[in-house]
Amino acid sequence: MTLQASVSMSWVNTVLGAAQRLGLERDALLKAAGIAPAQMTRDRWPVDQITRLWCAAARITGDPGFGLKAGALVGPASFNAVGYLLQSAPSLRESIAVVQKYQRLISDGGRLQMIPGTRSSWLVYHPRQGKLSFSPHQIEAVLAAVVAFAHWVSGCFLRPLKVQFSQSSIGPMAGYQAVFQCPVEFDQAFSGVLIDNAVLDTPLPQADAQLARVHQQYAAARLAALSPPEALAQDLRRWIDSQLYGQVPTRSRAAQALGLTPRTLARRMQQQQLDFSGLLDEARRDAALHAVANTAQALADIGQSLGFAEPSTFWRAFKRWTGMTPAQWRRQAAARAAALLDGE
């Protein structure tokens, strides 16, 4: 079973709003992206469709900071029904947990993971692209959105301890400093924001437990109505994504994480015609395509980090996924990025 990632119109409108602020009209952008205006009446877009929108916006505006500017525009409207719930959470850490729980209402084209530490915690973004490679602007927008999101729920500017990207920089360092106001590194193992635990756990001024319960009921109902038959598949895929860079994910460990017995999970998967090996292969594919295209990490190291014991095994899997070797995919991605920067 292949899961089709999609995004809500609230996130689509964030991209369109950023383009309009730079003087690009909505219909002109839609036309450049090959998207009919009638698509604006939909509740959600396939992730490849918004990727085309991102690429067209970056190409036409010619602004290397477009993603950062789009992310900085994030506000309650960008989070759909989840926005109300976020504003009543007791702390920034709890707000982030709400985003993780209800992220599919905003977009399932990626996943946020919190990696707690003694004094600080990483908030890591794992993109989940479709057939098209994500525009690097999409990744930058998400991390910029984390800072903007923290600002409007807390009323204070979030100054991260560090920000890093798994991709190379696409604009002047001054643009990154203006948004993050902290050290920024590129070509790292993952994309994420490092936040002081004291900041994450400071009580928020608008915390309201009663209001949070009301909004949570509404958000839960929206999530259930979105696509009930796929709930198990989505939960499995999110869990697999979170485990890719540790032990090789197994079905028995997935059952434990989901609070099910191995037999119950096996029965539900059979009922929904889900194959654990297929979901794992899909997750590895998405992670590998992104890492090869957007980082300078050694190809053999990427394969090893995803659980492939030998480089040859990774090479064969990559050729099966894409029809190319990892080196060919990286060269193609580099050519696309160069064309994007040149405005071609």
Q: For 77-116, write each residue's pLDDT tens digit.
A: 667 667 667 777 889 888 888 877 777 777 878 888 888 8
pLDDT at 225 over 70: no
DSSP string spanning 136-185? HHHHHHHHHHHHHHHHHHHSS----SEEE-SS---S-HHHHHHHH-S-EE
Residue 271: is its pLDDT beyond 90? no
The phi-psi region of residue 4 (left if phi > 0; otherwise alpha if psi is between -120 and 50; otherwise beta) is: beta
| C-alpha span between 159 and 178 (Å, rounded) | 11
pLDDT of residue 222: 64
- 184-185 and 120-127: which strand pairing? unpaired
pLDDT at 1: 40
Three-class DSSP category at 113: strand
* Sequence letter at residue 10: S
Contacts of 54 by beta carbon, 8 Å cutoff, 6+ apart: 15, 67, 134, 135, 137, 138, 141
- CATH topology classification for 227-342: Arc Repressor Mutant, subunit A (1.10.10)
d(CA 17, CA 61) in angstroms, rounded, equals 13
- Which range, of 129-133, 163-167, 307-311, averages the lowest pLDDT? 129-133
- The neighbour count for residue 94, using CB atoms within 10 Å, is 18
Q: What CATH code is assigned to 6-201?
A: 3.90.1520
How many distinct helices (H) and strands (E) make up the chain? 17, 7
pLDDT band at 54 (very low <50, low <70, confident <90, very high): very high
- The average pLDDT across 42-52 equals 88
pLDDT at 3 over 60: no
Specify the higher pLDDT residue, 186 or 344. 186
Structure tokens belonging to residue 220: 């839960």
Q: Where are the domains of the chain?
A: 6-201, 227-342
- Span 32-38, average pLDDT: 92
Residue 55: predicted pLDDT: 93
Total Cβ atoms within 10 A of residue 334: 13
Going by C-beta distance under 8 Å and a sequence separation of 6 or more, which residues neighbour residue 194? 120, 121, 122, 123, 160, 161, 162, 163, 164
Written as six digits, the tokens of 233 are 């598949």
Strands annotated E in the chain: 6-8, 44-46, 110-116, 120-127, 162-164, 184-185, 191-196
Q: What is the pLDDT of residues 157-193, one digit of tens each?
A: 889 999 999 999 999 999 999 999 999 999 988 899 9
Quick one: pLDDT at residue 212? 64
